[in-house]
């Protein structure tokens, strides 16, 4: 997720430790403005080129290009 999420801008990143995960969840619970802002920023990212349809289109383009070049 780190390649998509910018910590504090469009989501929150955390380590694998249960306490780190809990800390981030509590942060969101306690700060509804931050929760709303991050949720909206994440939604905008998905709407602007990260939806499943966009990913499927890019994947098909890669495979089609490979087939044309005889790489597959």
pLDDT above 70 as % of the chain: 97
- 4-29 residue pLDDT tens: 899 999 999 999 999 999 999 999 99
- The pLDDT of residue 37 is 97
Average pLDDT over residues 47-69: 88
Q: Which residues does residue 7 pair with via DSSP β-bridges, in sequence order?
A: 11
Residues 6 or more apart in contact with residue 66 via CB below 8 angstroms: 72
First to last CA, the chain: 28
């Amino acid at each position: 997720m780190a390649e998509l999420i910018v910590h504090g801008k469009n989501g929150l990143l955390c380590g694998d430790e249960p306490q780190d995960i809990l800390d981030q969840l509590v942060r969101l619970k306690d700060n509804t403005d931050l929760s709303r802002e991050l949720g909206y920023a994440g939604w905008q990212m998905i709407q602007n080129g990260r939806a499943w349809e966009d990913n499927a289109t890019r994947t098909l383009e890669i495979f089609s290009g490979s087939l044309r070049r005889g790489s597959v």
